[in-house]
């Protein structure tokens, strides 16, 4: 009887936590270095059990991660191909994550969003704390905030925003549990994100999602994100939108706002051979495998893209006038 009471209380606490999270985005904290700086790596579209050069990219991430003394890793989604995980006991979790990213520098927290391929499997498995018991580095939630003192990262689950996954899934099955109906989920997400962005006082605001906002590669721009998500980002002074989805590396600058669009989706299979310019300013494009680093101080950001061999392909820096409003 006592065991049943404890189980019932545990379920009640879990329900309260879920209800609380529905009112606002869950928050996590990761301190900056003692000097106030932060270094991270960003990789996306990777989970192929080491194939398609995933292992080679992982090795170079480990080397660069050590050089930069990274604080954590961001995954931009499509974590497990082709169809996500089958459950919390799916060995693909270890075969594509734990056994691949073995370098000492990568034994830091990984903060991950879901991609469209992840939705083709058991989404709740990827979100489950059971995986964190298998590998404590793993943290994947639908929508959440990471406060790292000088920057707030806003992780956004973009797959439900794309209408075709709902209306024309072709032969794929998408796991919409805890999301459907779409017409309720999206307004609540945008409202919560807008409120969280307005509340943020961090010098830098960075939004991470899986789908492209702007891209010159295979998938191109995502119209739903431009219509629904981008206005929220513009209204709240977001500095960077970081994504995967297109299997490449690219930097595009908005022509009508300070937002920079950064694609890091070269974690494994790449080389799509597609280039379609859009109306914003293309700064850099690499149709191949690789990853990105981001180094931040309170007043400056430095972005570097690396290829599968760990060679630096492109670097971009920007400074922030913290006293512009004075």
Q: Which residues in the chain belong to E strands, given as ranges?
A: 26-29, 38-43, 72-75, 110-112, 138-140, 144-147, 151-155, 204-208, 240-243, 249-253, 260-264, 281-286, 290-296, 300-307, 312-319
Is residue 11 included in any domain, yes or no? no
**What is the model's pLDDT at position 322?**
66
- The response to whether 45 counts as a known ligand-binding position is yes
Is residue 71 included in any domain, yes or no? yes
Residue 140 and residue 131: Cα distance in Å, rounded?
Answer: 9
Annotated active-site positions, please?
A: 219
On whether the CB atoms of residues 74 and 137 are closer than 8 A, the answer is no
Is residue 15 included in any domain, yes or no? no
H/E stretch holding 63: helix 54-68
Q: What are phi and psi of 90, to 5 degrees?
A: -70, 120
**What is the model's pLDDT at position 321?**
80
Domain that holds residue 161: 29-319
- The response to whether 211 counts as a known ligand-binding position is no
**Among candidate residues 128, 42, 44, the one with its CA nearest the CA of residue 85:** 128
Query: How many folded domains does the chain comprise?
Result: 1
Is residue 309 included in any domain, yes or no? yes
**What is the model's pLDDT at position 15?**
37
Sign of CA dihedral 166, 273, 77, 235: negative
Is residue 109 included in any domain, yes or no? yes
Residue 266 and residue 42: Cα distance in Å, rounded?
Answer: 10
- The response to whether 79 counts as a known ligand-binding position is no
On whether the CB atoms of residues 123 and 140 are closer than 8 A, the answer is no
- Structure pTM? 0.92
- What is the domain-level CATH number for residue 209? 3.60.21.10
- The response to whether 286 counts as a known ligand-binding position is no
Is residue 16 included in any domain, yes or no? no
**What is the model's pLDDT at position 174?**
98
- Per-10-residue mean pLDDT of the chain, 326 residues long, equals 40 37 79 97 98 98 98 98 98 98 98 98 98 98 98 98 97 97 97 98 98 97 98 98 98 97 98 94 98 98 98 97 50
- Sheet of 138-140, strand order: 138-140, 110-112, 72-75, 38-43, 290-296, 300-307, 312-319
Is residue 6 included in any domain, yes or no? no
On whether the CB atoms of residues 152 and 208 are closer than 8 A, the answer is no
Residue 125 and residue 83: Cα distance in Å, rounded?
Answer: 12
Is residue 138 included in any domain, yes or no? yes
- The response to whether 78 counts as a known ligand-binding position is yes
- The response to whether 287 counts as a known ligand-binding position is no
H helices of 141-261, where? 164-167, 182-199, 223-224, 230-235
On whether the CB atoms of residues 291 and 226 are closer than 8 A, the answer is no
**Among candidate residues 264, 220, 216, 223, the one with its CA nearest the CA of residue 241:** 264
Provide the CA 247 distance to its chain's centre, in angstroms: 14
- The response to whether 280 counts as a known ligand-binding position is no
On whether the CB atoms of residues 284 and 314 are closer than 8 A, the answer is yes
**What is the model's pLDDT at position 11?**
38
Which residues 6+ apart lie within 8 Å of 69 measured at CB?
33, 39, 105
**What is the model's pLDDT at position 69?**
98
**What is the model's pLDDT at position 7?**
40
């Amino acid at each position: 009887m006592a065991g049943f009471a404890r189980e019932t209380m545990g379920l009640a606490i879990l329900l309260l936590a879920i209800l609380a999270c529905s009112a606002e985005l869950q928050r996590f904290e990761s301190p900056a270095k003692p000097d106030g700086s932060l270094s991270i790596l960003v990789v996306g579209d990777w989970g192929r059990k080491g194939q398609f050069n995933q292992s080679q990219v992982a090795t170079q991430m480990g080397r660069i991660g050590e050089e930069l003394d990274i604080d954590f890793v961001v995954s931009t989604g499509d974590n497990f191909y082709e169809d996500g995980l089958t459950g919390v006991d799916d060995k693909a979790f270890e075969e594509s994550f734990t056994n691949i990213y073995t370098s000492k520098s990568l034994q830091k927290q990984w903060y991950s969003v879901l991609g469209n391929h992840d939705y083709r499997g058991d989404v709740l498995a990827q979100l489950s704390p059971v995986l964190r018991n298998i590998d404590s580095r793993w943290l994947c939630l639908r929508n959440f905030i990471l406060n790292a003192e000088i920057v707030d990262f806003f992780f956004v689950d973009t797959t439900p925003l794309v209408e075709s996954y709902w209306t024309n899934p072709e032969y794929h099955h998408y796991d919409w549990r805890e999301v459907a109906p779409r017409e309720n989920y999206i307004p609540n997400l945008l409202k919560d994100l807008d409120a969280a962005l307005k509340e943020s006082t961090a010098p830098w605001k960075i939004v991470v999602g899986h789908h492209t906002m702007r891209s010159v590669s295979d998938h191109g721009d995502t119209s739903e994100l431009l219509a629904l998500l981008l206005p929220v980002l513009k209204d709240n002074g977001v500095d960077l939108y970081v994504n995967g989805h297109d299997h490449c590396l690219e930097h595009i600058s908005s022509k009508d706002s300070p937002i920079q669009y950064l694609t890091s989706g070269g974690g494994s299979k790449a080389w799509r051979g597609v280039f379609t310019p859009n109306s914003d300013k293309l700064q850099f494009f690499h149709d191949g495998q690789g990853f990105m680093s981001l180094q931040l101080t309170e007043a400056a950001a430095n972005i570097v893209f690396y290829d599968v061999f760990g060679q630096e392909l492109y670097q971009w820096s920007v400074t922030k006038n913290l006293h512009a409003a004075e």
